[in-house]
Amino acid sequence: MTPGPPIRVAFALLPNSLVLDWAGPAEALRIANQLLRASGQPERFVIDFVSPTPSSVGSVGVTLSGLSPLPAVWDEPAWIVLVGLPGRTIAVDNDEARALLHWLGGQRLETGRLELVTICAGTLLAAHAGLLAGHRVTTHHHHLDELRAVAPDCEVVANRVFVLDPPVSSSAGVTTGIDLMLHRIGEVCGEALAAQVAQTMVVALRRGPHDPELSPFLAHRHHLHAALHRVQDAVSAQPQADWTVPRMAEVAHTSPRHLTRLFVEHAGVAPLAYLRRLRLASAQLALQSGANVTRAAEQSGFGSDTQLRRAWRQFGLPGSPSSATQSR
Tell me the pLDDT of the chain averaged across its residues. 90
Q: How confident is the model at residue 65 (pLDDT cuts 50, 70, 90)?
A: very high
41 CA to centre of own chain: 19
Residue 206 has pLDDT above 80, yes or no: no
Strand partners, 47: 9
What is the average pLDDT across 99-108?
Answer: 97
Half-sphere exposure for 311 (CA within 13 Å, toward CB): 25
Please report the pLDDT score of residue 161 as a whole number. 84
Taking alpha carbons only, the member of 203, 205, 201, 202 closest to residue 214 is 205
Bridge partners (DSSP) of residue 68 are 50
Give tens-digit pLDDT for 132-143.
Answer: 999 999 999 889
Residue 273, pLDDT > 90, answer yes
Q: How confident is the model at residue 211 (pLDDT cuts 50, 70, 90)?
A: very low
Q: What one-letter code names the amino acid at 317?
A: L
Sheet strand arrangement including 162-165: 45-50, 7-12, 78-82, 114-118, 168-171, 162-165
Question: Among 85, 112, 110, 78, which residue's Cα sits nearest to residue 20?
Answer: 85
* Residues 110-126: tens digit of each pLDDT: 999 999 999 999 999 99
pLDDT higher than threshold 90 for residue 38: yes
Instruction: DSSP letter for 222, please.
Output: -
- pLDDT (average), residues 45-53: 98
Distance CA 31, CA 35 (A): 6
pTM confidence score = 0.70
Domains of the chain, first to last = 7-193 (3.40.50.880), 213-328 (1.10.10.60)
pLDDT tens digits along 160-173: 889 999 999 999 98
What is the per-residue pLDDT for 212? 40
Given pLDDT bands bounded at 50, 70 and 90, which one contains residue 102? very high
Cβ atoms of 172 and 140 closer than 8 Å: yes
Taking the C-alpha atoms of residue 51 and residue 67, their distance in angstroms, rounded to an integer, is: 6
